[in-house]
């Protein structure tokens, strides 16, 4: 799903008749926002004959979420999943959007939906663990991260998340083991450099 402005999310997409009642809200959302007027007009013009495509609902839902209309966004996200019930990528994307908007319980629900479809989908496993940690439910987070590591044992990022979870659970020996192993798996990329700093900071906290 694009990560640019909401207008860009919608600029080349149509929506289905099932979104018709939500367009009245969309007019209120757009208000005097000139950036939103063009996609709003496109949605109104296309609603009568657009195909039922889950990505259409997804982008309109993202638009609503961006403007703070959670109920409308959730309705559209749910409709998208009804149209694409096996799309674990899309479910996980919805979780990410909701997480960024600080809707943690709703984000967790979408991550768990993805895992009900595919229990081995690593992004959903990691995000579920991360969200449970953010909610202070560290013991519940642990098995999701451990399963993700079993599936991708050479992933230092997952080992870092696992190490931080062990720290939260005050299981410091296991935390050090995972963090040191994560360091040994890093390459020389810029992304790895940032992760290295985070791992070293976690190890320093353990030594304090």
CA dist 85 to 18, 36, 44, 103, 114, Å? 17, 29, 26, 22, 9
Give me the pLDDT at residue 140, please. 98
How far, in Å, CA of 135 to CA of 127, rounded?
12
pLDDT, tens digit only, all 208 positions of the chain? 333 333 332 322 333 333 444 555 555 555 555 555 666 556 544 433 455 778 778 887 888 888 788 998 898 899 889 989 999 999 999 999 999 999 999 999 999 999 999 999 999 999 999 999 999 999 999 999 999 999 999 999 999 999 999 999 999 999 999 999 999 999 888 888 999 999 999 999 998 7
Q: Which residues contact 111 (CB under 8 A, 6 or more apart)?
A: 91, 92, 95, 124, 127, 128, 131
Q: What is the pLDDT of residues 110-133, one digit of tens each?
A: 999 999 999 999 999 999 999 999
Give me the pLDDT at residue 9, please. 29
How far, in Å, CA of 81 to CA of 72, rounded?
14
Q: Which residues contact 193 (CB under 8 A, 6 or more apart)?
A: none
Q: Which two tokens stand for residue 130?
A: 């991360």
Question: What mean pLDDT value characterizes the chain?
Answer: 81
- Go through 65-81 and write b for each residue having 16 or more CB atoms within 10 A of its CB, e for each that does not: bbbebeebbbbbbebbb
**What are the strands, taking DSSP E only, across the chain?**
none
Using CB atoms within 10 A of its CB, is residue 185 exposed (0-12), middle (13-18) or buried (19+)?
Answer: middle
Query: Would you give the end-to-end CA distance of the chain in angstroms?
Result: 42
How far, in Å, CA of 73 to CA of 66, rounded?
9
């Amino acid at each position: 799903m694009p990560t640019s402005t909401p207008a860009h999310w919608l600029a080349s997409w149509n929506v289905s008749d099932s979104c018709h009642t939500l367009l009245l809200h969309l007019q209120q959302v757009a208000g005097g926002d000139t950036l939103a007027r063009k996609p709003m007009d496109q949605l109104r013009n296309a609603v009568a004959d657009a195909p039922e495509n889950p990505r259409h609902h997804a982008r309109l839902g993202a638009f609503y979420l961006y403007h703070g209309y959670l109920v409308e966004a959730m309705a559209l996200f749910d409709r998208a999943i009804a149209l694409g019930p096996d799309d674990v990528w899309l479910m996980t994307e919805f979780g990410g959007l909701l997480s960024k908007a600080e809707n943690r319980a709703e984000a967790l629900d979408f991550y768990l939906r993805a895992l009900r479809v595919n229990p081995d989908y690593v992004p959903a496993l990691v995000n579920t663990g991360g969200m449970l940690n953010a909610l202070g439910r560290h013991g519940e987070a642990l098995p999701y991260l451990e399963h993700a590591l079993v599936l991708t044992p050479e992933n230092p990022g997952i080992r870092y998340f696992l190490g931080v979870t062990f720290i939260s659970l005050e299981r410091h020996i296991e935390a050090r083991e995972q963090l040191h192993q994560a360091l040994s798996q890093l390459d020389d990329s810029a992304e790895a450099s940032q992760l290295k700093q985070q791992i070293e900071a976690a190890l320093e906290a353990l030594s304090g």
